[in-house]
A and B are shown apart, each in its own frame.
Chain A
Amino acid sequence: MMVPLWLIVLVKSAVLLLVVVTTFAYAMLAERKVLGWMQLRPGPNRVGPWGLMQPAADAAKLMLKEDLTPKTADPLIYRLAPFISLLTAFSVYAIIPFGSSSSGTWAIGNVNAGILLILAITSIGVYGISLGGWASGSKYPLLGSVRATAQMISYELAMSLSFIGVLILAGTTSLDGIVNAQVRWWFFVPQFFGCIIYIITAVAETNRTPFDLVEAETELVAGFHTEYSGLRFGLFFIAEYVNMLTVSCIATLLFFGGWNAPLGLTLIPGVVWFVAKVAMFMFFYMWLRATLPRLRYDRLMAFGWKVLLPLATLNLVVTAIVVAFRG
């Protein structure tokens, strides 16, 4: 008996959605814990043992809060914007492979131009933020969303350029192809500068400290989501963390060998390695947030256009020349 393909995809999607949402919940708790430790605080520890029920308490709180729509807001777009953010954040997981076994790659869809599709989907994510800010009909969200648009466009260029170095080395745009090309050498080694540039731009793309000008509390109250409350704010919040998870997954896939085991430790299954590497990146983001202050806006722009973009281009040209001459 053949199980229909749509059923397999549906079940896979449901399981993946559950996994991603749970990961989001505990990534949030982990962030609060790590931030706490780095600031000599214990972090949340009142709900459940070691604070482990905190995400559930937060979710219940957000659901019970009043869902406000400002009088000046454009109601339809205002209500739609969080869903755009969330939908794009989740849909990336349809093509991210998590591991590999003899029966194939562990992913919902194995797309041959995976990396391009990821770029395309994540680019839509900015609409959630910019429309949400614009439709709020209030000044701080508008400023936040204008910043978001400018920042995302500026840093996406350098990010795409840092991808291309990897694509040249791997000779393919499919994600499992890229991972399989890293069996011997993780691209972190030959693409060291590409990797650094990607990590920096990824922080900027997810609007996190030190590039969180979109929600800069000190200047813009809460940036694009100032007017949002309750569950709609929660959706933006989920989207931010899921995006963080996405860029961590991409960094793992492109530069840190995906599910390839380091030092020939193939005894531990590949998925565990993948999760460990993603967790490392997530920790790095939290660590960065606990350490660095926010950039000034003009410096953010100058850094993106005058430093990262030329460096990414240089990295690309050097990679291309080396690959061309060595065959």
Chain B
Amino acid sequence: MQSSTIKKNLYNVGAILKGLSITFGYMFRKRPTIQYPSVKKQHAPRFHGLHELRRYGDGQERCIGCELCSSACPANAITVIGAENAPGDRVSPGERHAARYEIDELRCIFCGMCEEACPTDAIVLTPRFEMADYRRGSFIYDKDRLLVPIDAGVGAAPDERPGGIPGDLGRVADIKSTTDVAEGYSATWRGEILKTQRRGLASQ
């Protein structure tokens, strides 16, 4: 046998031993597994999850049925049918409100464009993401499921969630009408900038 063959074979044996040492070492490494249903990973503060329709502090719905979210939606997941507010029984502070508001969460790509498009901050994406269900029909979320119940408060905008954007004090929750929004609304992220720009254009 040539010496080169012996050398090669010894090298191969060495490689096997090296491989064995690597796998043995891995046995004692820290495992990155998170035991999901019992332990949950902390997600990013502005995680894009299930939608929520928010209210004002007085209990009125923020949504004015303008359908901007629906037209901004790249996945055509949102259906809004607006209706006039009856003078005695107002649903929202504007002229109109959403009579029907439906989001097909199976179509939704959780891009957050609806959130950016909304002039009243009515639709926001919450960090909730466990939406599994048994039927396709169950994924069409209507107003009953999207609206925050009155006793649960007004709902949280992304920037007022715990651990939200530093420097932003969650001013949105105190806003009582849409006109309050335009003045002194400090833009902290791209969506806000767009929003202020849009409002600026609208007021001109």
Name A residues whose Cβ lies closer than 8 Å to a Cβ of B: 34, 37-42, 45, 287-288, 290-292
Contacts and interface: CB of A to CB of B under 8 A. Distances in A.
Interface of B: 16, 19-20, 22-24, 26-27, 29, 31-33, 35
B11 to A, nearest CB: 15
B23 A38 contact: yes
A291 B33 contact: no
Contact of A42 (B23, B24, B33): B33
B33 A41 contact: yes
Given A291-B19, A292-B16, A37 B33 contact: no
A290 B31 contact: no
B55 to A, nearest CB: 41
Given A34-B27, A287-B24, A40 B19 contact: no
Nearest to B17: A291
A287 B31 contact: no
Contacts, number: 32
Contacts of A37: 26-27, 31
Most buried by B among A34, A39, A291, A292: A291
Most buried by B among A42, A287, A290: A290
Contacts of A39: 26
A175 B22 CA distance: 36
B143 to A, nearest CB: 38
Contact of B23 (A41, A45, A290): A290
24 contacts: A34-B27, A37-B26, A37-B27, A37-B31, A38-B24, A38-B26, A39-B26, A40-B26, A40-B29, A40-B32, A40-B33, A41-B33, A42-B31, A42-B35, A45-B35, A287-B20, A287-B23, A288-B20, A291-B19, A291-B20, A291-B22, A291-B23, A292-B16, A292-B19
Contacts of B23: 38, 287, 290-291
Most buried by B among A34, A38, A39: A38
A289 to B, nearest CB: 10
B24 to A, nearest CB: 7
Nearest to B24: A287
B70 to A, nearest CB: 43
Contacts of B22: 291
7 smallest CB-CB distances across A and B, nearest first, come from: A37-B27, A291-B23, A38-B23, A291-B19, A290-B23, A38-B26, A40-B31
Contacts of B33: 40-42
Contacts of B20: 287-288, 291
A37 B27 CA distance: 5
Contacts of A41: 31, 33
Nearest to A39: B26
B27 A38 contact: yes
Most buried by A among B19, B26, B27, B33: B27
A211 to B, nearest CB: 13
A193 B19 CA distance: 21
Contacts of A288: 20
A34 B137 CA distance: 43
A122 to B, nearest CB: 26
Given A37-B26, A291-B19, 8 more contacts: A34-B27, A39-B26, A40-B29, A40-B32, A287-B23, A287-B24, A288-B20, A292-B19
